[in-house]
Structure 1
Amino acid sequence: MIRGEKMADKEENLAIELLHSINMLRKVSHNLAHEPGKHLKRNEQMIIMYLRKHSGQGDLKISDLGKLLELAPSTISPIIHSLETNGFIERYHNQDDRRVAYIRLSKYGFEQAEKVRKNFRETLQGLADYLGQEDTEKLVEILRKTYKYATKVQQERKEDTK
C-alpha cells in the first residue's frame, strides 16, 4: 500500500509542478509582447490585435466584438472605455442608425498594435532559437495535445451540466 501512496504523491506533485509552471509562464508571457514602458492588459491587447487584423473589413459593433472574443458585456465595456480614453480606438456611429456604436483602431492604436505584433514575433522567434528546432517542434506538439485535451474536458463538462 505504501508504494501506491508514493505513486499517488508523486503524480500529485507532478500535477502541482505543471500548474506552477503554467502560472509562471502565464505571468511572464503577457509582458513579453509589450514594448518597454507600454503596458496593455491581456484583454486590451487581444482587442487591439483583433481590430488590427480585421481593419478594413467593415463596421464592428462593440457587442459583436464581445461575442467574437467570448467576452461578456460587463467585461468588454470597461476595456473599450479604457482603450478609447487612452487613444487606441475610436467610437463612431452609423449614419443610418445613430443609436448603434461601432469601433475601430485609431492611427495610434494601429501603430501600437503593430509594435505588439512585432515584439510578439521577435519573442517567439527568440524562444524558437533558444530551444532549437527539435525542442521547438516538441513544444508545439505538446501544446497541441494540451489544447486537444483541454477542449475535450471542456466539452465533457458542458455535457455533464446539461
Structure 2
Amino acid sequence: MDAEKLLMEDTLFQFIDRIRPLISNELWANILLNVTKNELLVLLLLYRQEDVTMSQVAQYLRVPLNTATGIISRMEKQTLLSRERNEDDKRVVTIRLSASGRNQIRQILTTFRQYGQKVLSELTSEETALIFTIIEKVISVMQKEQFQAMNSPAQTIRKIIIE
C-alpha cells in the first residue's frame, strides 16, 4: 500500500475513533444496527411514498423481484411493514409501513435532523456552502466511478444471503 492510501486510511480511522464516543448508546441501539442497507432504503421509500408494489421495490433497489421478496419477508417478520394483495389482481402485492416501521424511521430521521441542525448552527454560511459543494463533488466522483464500473467488461460476483 502506498503512503497516500495509508494516510487516507489512518485519517478515516482517526475520524471514526473521535466520533465513536460522541454517539449515544441509544443511537447505536437504534434500528440502523438491525437492518441491512436495502431494508433501510425500503423504509425510506415507504416513508416517502406511503405504499408501493413489489415491482417498484425491486426497481428502486435494482434487484431481481425474488430478492426484493426476500427483503420484504424479513421486514414483515420484524413487523416493520405489511403486504396486501390487490383485490382485482392477486399478482399485485402492495407494501405499506406498519406503525412500528413508521415510528422507527421517524426516530432515525429526527436524530439525524437534530445532529444536522446542531452542526449547521455552528457553521458560517460560507462553511455551509462549502460543505454542500464538497458533498456534490463526492457524489460526482462516485457517479463517475459507478459509470466506469458498469461499462467495464469485468464481472463481479455478488453474495446473496438466504435465510
Same fold (TM over 0.5): yes
Which one of 5, 29, 51 corresponds to residue 12 of structure 1? 5
Q: Relative to 1, partners in 2 of residues 1:71 and 1:116: Cα closer, same or farther, differing over 3 Å?
A: farther
Question: Is 2:39 aligned against 1:44?
Answer: yes
Question: Is 2:110 aligned against 1:115?
Answer: no
Which one of 95, 102, 105 corresponds to residue 94 of structure 2? 102
Between the two proteins, the alignment pairs up a number of residues equal to: 146
Larger Rg: 1
**Rounded Cα–Cα distance in structure 2 between residues aligned with 1:136 and 1:109:** 32
More helix by share: 1
Q: Percent identity?
A: 25
Aligned residues of 2:58 and 2:64 also touching (Cα < 8 A)? yes
RMSD across aligned C-alpha pairs, in angstroms? 3.3
1:101 is aligned with what amino acid? V
What is the DSSP-based 3-state SS (H/G/I as helix, E as strand, rest coil) of the residue aligned with 1:140? helix
Gaps of 5+ in 1: 1-7
TM-score (norm. length: structure 2): 0.69
Which one of 60, 68, 87 corresponds to residue 79 of structure 2? 87
TM-score (norm. length: structure 1): 0.69
What is the DSSP-based 3-state SS (H/G/I as helix, E as strand, rest coil) of the residue aligned with 1:11? helix
Q: CA deviation at 1:91?
A: 0.5
Gaps of 5+ in 2: 155-163
For CA contacts below 8 A with separation 6 or more, give which structure has more relative contact order: 1
1:77 is aligned with what amino acid? T
Q: CA deviation at 1:87?
A: 1.7
**Rounded Cα–Cα distance in structure 1 between residues aligned with 2:152 and 2:79:** 44
**Rounded Cα–Cα distance in structure 2 between residues aligned with 1:127 and 1:20:** 21
